[in-house]
Amino acid sequence: MDRAASGWINGFVGVVIFSGSLPATRLAVMQFDPVFLTVARAAIAGALALCLLLAFEQKRPARGDILSLLIVALGVVVGFPVLTALALQHITSAHSIVFIGLLPLSTAIFGVLRGGERPKPAFWLFSALGSALVAGFALAQGLTASPIGDALMLAAIIVCGLGYAEGATLSRTLGGWQVISWALVLSLPVMLALSIATRPASFSGIEAAAWLSLGYVSLFSMLIGFVFWYRGLAQGGIAAVGQLQLLQPFFGLALAATLLHEPVSWMMLAVTFAVIACVAGARRFR
């Protein structure tokens, strides 16, 4: 199997794992404060990442890599989780998942700015078309769901795209799982302290579904998913493999309907299938 094909496979696995993040976050914020949820998931994942780095005796990153790791941490360890957790207090996970369709364009733009990639003009056409479909859906709702929730989701998409591109660029030399692990470890002292400071007064009323959701976003969304995702971006190209995120709403909507019994309108499905078609075009002209 060539490097590009391997990149698409790894990227696809990462997208499938990430698709459960927003429904799980939606369940968790019903009983956990969004700030506590953000710092707790990062602290749990950071502790696991530290164990992995020690177990495999990984060397410390070079001094020149620290800034990139901090950007990764601010983008995907702190920024995206806290912004989406706050957004999900105002909107449903089904509504928020559609915004994930904007992530490929955000990732591709930062792939050019930070990764030095130069996709073909036709690639941008398909990527922009997919993003326009998603934006059109949000506007068609009249932003009545919640302007605050939509604004928070848009900010989350921007910082996440930066974190994805920065991490993928660094993965070419440092390794995929090493990048997210070191970013988590750098964040661990602050996240651990904040977890203690923002913890609920009592955990007695927290239901099993919230605990399981916290476990999912800590283990899979914050760590395991990035092992595949960063490897896929590094192997197949940030802009190209990043288009797989257009598939994430499809999986996410299915989970939202199945697990949370949230309504999924025909328009949501139409937008999802339309952006899936854009993946094929973007991949062809990557």
pLDDT (tens digit, 9 = 90+) per residue, 71-87? 999 999 999 988 988 88
Please report whether residue 28 resides in a domain. yes
Please report whether residue 203 resides in a domain. no
Task: Give the pLDDT mean for 259-266.
Answer: 73
Torsion angle in degrees (nearest 10) through CA of 44, 47, 48, 51: -170
Please report whether residue 256 resides in a domain. yes
266 pLDDT band, cuts 50/70/90, is confident
CA distance 251 to 225: 15
3-class secondary-structure state, position 286: coil
Rounded to a whole number, what is the distance in angstroms from the first to the last CA of the chain?
Answer: 19
Please report whether residue 37 resides in a domain. yes
138 pLDDT band, cuts 50/70/90, is low
CA angle 29, 216, 207 (to 5 degrees): 50
Structure tokens at 241: 């493999």
Residue 144's pLDDT is: 56
Structure tokens at 143: 């932003």
What is the average pLDDT score of the chain? 87
Q: Taking a C-beta distance cutoff of 8 angstroms, is the pair 95, 145 a contact?
A: yes
Residue 132's pLDDT is: 81
131 pLDDT band, cuts 50/70/90, is confident
- Which amino acid would we find at residue 150? D
CA distance 147 to 29: 19
How many residues comprise the chain?
286
Give the count of alpha carbons within 13 A of 249, CB side only: 31
* Residue 216 pLDDT greater than 70, yes or no: yes
Supply the Cα-derived Rg of the chain in whole angstroms.
Answer: 18
Residue 279's pLDDT is: 72
Please report whether residue 247 resides in a domain. yes
Q: Taking a C-beta distance cutoff of 8 angstroms, is the pair 106, 76 a contact?
A: no
Q: Taking a C-beta distance cutoff of 8 angstroms, is the pair 25, 85 a contact?
A: yes
Q: Taking a C-beta distance cutoff of 8 angstroms, is the pair 264, 101 a contact?
A: no
Please, what is the angle between helix 176-198 and helix 147-174, to 10°? 140
Residue 275's pLDDT is: 76
Give the residue from 157, 166, 282 showing the smallest Cα distance to 234.
Answer: 166
User: How many domains is the chain partitioned into structurally?
Assistant: 1
Task: Give the pLDDT mean for 237-243.
Answer: 88
Please report whether residue 108 resides in a domain. yes
Name the pTM for this structure: 0.86
Range of the domain at 218: 3-198+208-284
Give the residue from 138, 126, 66 showing the smallest Cα distance to 274.
Answer: 126
Of all residues in the chain, the percent with pLDDT exceeding 90 is 48
